[in-house]
Amino acid sequence: MKLTLALGPRHGLSRQTALGCVATNVAFPGFGSLMAGHPVGYAQAVVTLAGFAMTLGFGLVFVVWCLLNWSVLYGPDADPVDTLLQLWVRLRWALVGMGLFGISWLWAWFTNAAILRESRKAEEAAKPLPSRPS
């Protein structure tokens, strides 16, 4: 079995298939675009996966660090400004990951609009022309 990442030829999508692609794009930006035959989906998927990996990885490190330093951060002698600075230093890369995922999600919404517009045009083109009475 040969595995390829090449997209097949683009064809008009039915409304139901387009809605499936849109739903996939909402959950996993980029993958619905690829299902619909849009090459921009590759870039969207890379940004999505990078943002997700950064959020998960750095977020987990942040949670572990917070639990290990709980008494120092929230103790009676804790300096609020120093606490915020330490939290920012540990949390910033997870926030960058969330931002990347958010950017890919918004980007996917523009692609979703194009997918729905294309499906509407394909359905209109597939409709038979009304016959004129003679």
Interatomic CA distance for residues 103 and 29, integer angstroms: 10
pTM of the model as a whole = 0.79
pLDDT 10s digits, 63-86 = 999 999 888 888 888 888 888 899
At residue 31, does pLDDT exceed 80? Answer: yes
If you average pLDDT over every residue of the chain, what do you get? 88
User: Could you tell me the pLDDT band of residue 108, with boundaries at 50, 70 and 90?
Assistant: very high
At residue 3, does pLDDT exceed 70? Answer: no
Of 89, 93, 90, 103, give the one whose Cα is nearest residue 53.
93
Rounded (10°) angle between helices 15-27 and 80-126 = 170
What percent of the chain clears pLDDT 90, i.e. is strictly above it?
A: 57
Interatomic CA distance for residues 40 and 6, integer angstroms: 12
Structural domain spans, the chain: 15-125
Interatomic CA distance for residues 91 and 93, integer angstroms: 6
Interatomic CA distance for residues 60 and 68, integer angstroms: 12
SS3 state at 48: helix
